[in-house]
Amino acid sequence: FVSIRQLVPSSSRTDEIKFKELHLIPATVDDGDLLLEWRNDPAARSVSRNKDTISKEEHFEWLKASLINENRQIFIAQEDKISIGVVRVDKINDIQELSWTVAPSARGRGLGKKIVSILVTSLPLPVAARVNRGNEASIKIAEYAGMKLIEEDEEFYLFRRDSMPTD
C-alpha cells in the first residue's frame, strides 16, 4: 500500500512543487469555489467525462472526500501567486492517472503543458491520462508530457508514459 507522500516523492500535502514561476500547491477545501467555477466552465464541461453542471453541494462533498483520499492528490497551479489551473493525481494500482483543467483566463498560453510536465517529472511512473477525443488541447498536453497513445475507444484516448527519457 502506498501512502499519499509516496505519490509525489519527497513531498507532503503541505509541500509545494516548484518550477520556474509556476508552483503546484496542494488544494484545500478553501479552493472549492474556484475549482467549481473552473469545473462548470462550459468549455471544460464540453470535454469532461461528466458534462453536467455540478451543484455546489455535490462539488464540496466530492472535494472533501478527495482531500482525505489516500490515493488522490489535487494540486492548484499558480503563476506569480495567481491560480491558473488544477491537476489531479489518482493512484490506481501502480499507475498515477492524471486529470487537469486550465483556468479559462489562462488558456492558450501553453501553461497546461508546463503544469502537467512539472507533475509528471515529480511522480513515480507510469503515469496515464484518459482524454476526450475532442479535447485537442489536452491531447497536446499529454503528448508534450511524454505520454503516448496506447488505447482508444469511441469517447476517449488513453495516454501513458512508462519511463523518463534517456539523454
pLDDT tens string 81-103: 899 999 999 999 999 999 999 99
* pLDDT for the residue 12: 44
Share of the chain above pLDDT 90, in %: 73
C-alpha grid cell for residue 80? 506569480
Instruction: Identify which has the larger pLDDT, 59 or 2.
Output: 59
> For 127-157, how does the pLDDT look when each residue is reduced to its tens digit (9 = 90+)?
999 999 989 999 999 999 999 999 999 999 9
Mean pLDDT of 113-118: 94
Q: What is the largest CA-CA distance in the chain?
A: 48
Is the pLDDT assigned to residue 107 strictly greater than 90?
yes
CB 131 within 8 A of CB 142: yes
How big is the chain by its Cα radius of gyration, in Å? Answer: 15
Q: In angstroms, rounded to a whole number, what is the distance separating the alpha carbons of residues 10 and 161?
A: 21
Q: In angstroms, rounded to a whole number, what is the distance separating the alpha carbons of residues 24 and 18?
A: 6
Instruction: Judge if pTM exceeds 0.85.
Output: no
> For 23-69, how does the pLDDT look when each residue is reduced to its tens digit (9 = 90+)?
899 999 999 999 999 999 999 999 888 889 999 999 999 999 999 99
DSSP code of 53?
P
* pLDDT for the residue 165: 60
CB 44 within 8 A of CB 138: no
Residue 63 CB neighbours (<10 A): 18
DSSP code of 61?
H
CB 24 within 8 A of CB 13: no
* pLDDT for the residue 38: 97
* pLDDT for the residue 21: 76
* pLDDT for the residue 17: 54
DSSP string, 14-42: TPPEEETTEEEEE--GGGHHHHHHHHT-H
